[in-house]
Amino acid sequence: MTRNDDVQNHEWLDRYKKKIILGIAALMTLSLTVTMIYIACTMRSRLLEERAVQAEELGTILHSSLNHLMESRDPGKMQDALVVIGKENPAIVRAFILDNRGKVAYSSHEQDIGVTIDRFSDVSCTGCHNGPVTVPHDRTMTVTVDDKRVLRHVHIIENRPSCHRCHPAGVRINGKLVIDSSLEPTDSLIRTVILIILGSSFACLAVLIPFLWRTLSKGVNTYINEIRMKSAELLILYSIVDRLSATIEFEELKQIVIEIISDALGADEIDMVLPNEYRELGVIVWTRNRSAMVRKKVEVASALHDIIYGWVEGRITEHTIVNNGKEIHMPVAKAGNRLAFIIIRSTSGVFEPYQLTLVRGMANHISVAFENALLYRMAITDELTGLYSSRHFRQAIGKKYSLFHEFGEKMTLLMIDIDNFKRINDTYGHPAGDAILKEVGKCILSSIREPDLGFRYGGEEFAVILPASDIPAGKVVAERMRALIEHYPFKADQHVLKVTVSIGVASWPASAESIKEVIAEADKALYDAKHGGKNQVVVRARGEK
C-alpha cells in the first residue's frame, strides 16, 4: 500500500466517521424534535382543558355567590356585583346575565344592558346553539367575540321554587349566566413555549444535547410550575369567596377566616386583632395544637403590644413578612377603615415572598366580608353594653338548638339579673344605672370564652349561651362571673358601689328538651336565686318544682 493509498483510506474513514456522527446527530435531533412537538401539542391541549375547567369552576362559584343576590330581588346589587367582578378579575372579558328571551339583563359592561342576542344568528352563540335547541350541548366552549378568541362558560339559571315570587312557576329556565374569559394569555404562553421548544431542538446540532435537554426541561418546568401556581392561587381565592359568603354572623366569620388562613398558608399560630369590638381592642389567638380560638390579654410591655398599636396608629399598612420569614402581618382595611389586623406565624417553616400575592388577595375578600358582618353586628348589638340584643337571642339559641338535634351538642344557658338595681337608679339616677349596666356587660364578656355568646336580655337582665357545655361547666362560669362582679369597683357619683348578681343555670338535655323549656328552667333557677338571698348561683335540673 502506497502512502497515497493510506491517505485516501484515512480520508474515507474520516468522511465515513463524519457521516456516522452527522447521521446520529440528525437522528437524535429528529427524535428530539418530534418528541418536543408532541410534548408541545399535548401541553397545549392540557392547558386549554385546564383553562376550560377553571372557567367552569369560576362560573359555578360566581353563580353560587350571586344566587342570594338574585333571591333578594335587588337588581342594583346584582349589577354592582357583576361590575366589580369584571374590574377585579383581569382574565374576565365580560360577564353578563341573559333573561329567557335572550336579552342582556345585567352585565359587567353596562352599555350592553338591554341588548338582545339572537342565539341562532349571532356568531358568539353558535358554540352553544347550532339549531332550534333550548339547552346548550356544551357549557364551556371557545368562541370569537370582537375578533378575539375567548373561552365562554354558560351557567343555566333554573327556575327554582324560591324564584317563583318573580318568575312564573311554569317556566323551566329564567336565564343564563355567561362568562367570557380571555384566551390571549394562554395562547401567548403556548406560543412562547412552542417557540422555545422548537428553537432548542434545532440548536442541539451545535451544542451538547444533554445540556440543552436539562436547560430546556428546566425552562419548561418553570412555565408549568408558574401556571400551576397561578391556577392554585386562583382556585384558593375562589374558594375563599365561596366560604366567606356562607355567613354574615361575625362569630362564625372569625372562625372561617382562621380556617382559610391556616389552610392556605399552613400557619401554626394566628393572632386576630379586632378594633371596636366591645368598645376596645379584642385579641383572638388560635394555635394549630389547640385548634380553638381564645381571647388573650396583651401586656403593655410585650412586643405584641407595640406591633398592634403600630397598626392602630397607622404605621403598619402593608402586608409584610418579618421575623426571618416566620411571621406575616396582614392589615385588613376597606376604604381607609381598619377592620382587622392578623398576625400569621409559622413554627415549622418560613413564608416565601411569593405568598404575599395570595395574602393581598385574601385580605381584599376578608375586608368585604368583615365590613358586611360588622354592619350586621351593629344591627343586632345593644349599644350600651356591647352585648347582643334580646332580639338576636332567639335566633342564636335556635341555631344552637339545631346543633343539639343534629349532632347531640349540649348547651348551657345562664340567666343573670342585677340585684337591687332599682335602688341604684333611685339613689344615684339613671346615668349611674347605665354606667353599671355597661360595666356589668364588660364583666360578663371577660368571664366567658370566645365561642360563648352574651346578650342583654332586657332592662337589668342578661343571658349567656355556652355552646358545648354541660351544667357543671356552666356553674363554674356562672360562679366566676358572680365573684368578678361582686368584687368589681363600680362607681357612681364618686362613690364605690358593691353590685351583685343572681344567676340561674339550665341546660339541655339535662334540664329540658326544647328551647322554651330551657329558658323557662333557667328563669326558674334565677327566681330561686333571687328569693333565696340573692348574690348566688342556682342550677335547675329537670323535674324540680
Alpha-carbon dihedral of residues 333, 337, 338, 340, nearest 10 degrees? -60
Distance CA 78, CA 115 (A): 17
For residues 511 and 544, what is the distance between their CA atoms, to the nearest angstrom? 9
Q: Cell numbers at residue 425, please?
A: 337608679
Preceding amide of 509 cis, omega within 30: yes
CA distances from 32 to 26, 28, 162 (A): 10, 6, 60
Residues 64, 60: Cα–Cα separation, whole Å: 6
Catalytically annotated residue among 352, 460, 479, 486: 460
CB environment 315-351: b (16+ within 10 A), e (fewer): ebeebebeeeebbbbbbbbbeeebbbbbbbbbeeeeb
Residue 492 corresponds to which cell in the numbers above?
357612681
Angle at alpha carbon of residue 203, lines to 197 and 209, rounded to 5°: 90
DSSP 419: T
Q: Which residue reads 401556581 in cell numbers?
A: 229
57 is catalytic: no
Q: How many CA atoms lie within 13 A of 27 on its CB side?
A: 6
DSSP 50-118: HHHHHHHHHHHHHHHHHHHHHHTT-HHHHHHHHHHHHHH-TTEEEEEEEETTSBEEEESSGGGTT-B--
* Strand residues in 121-225 grouped as ranges (E): 140-145, 148-158, 173-182
Residues taking part in catalysis: 460
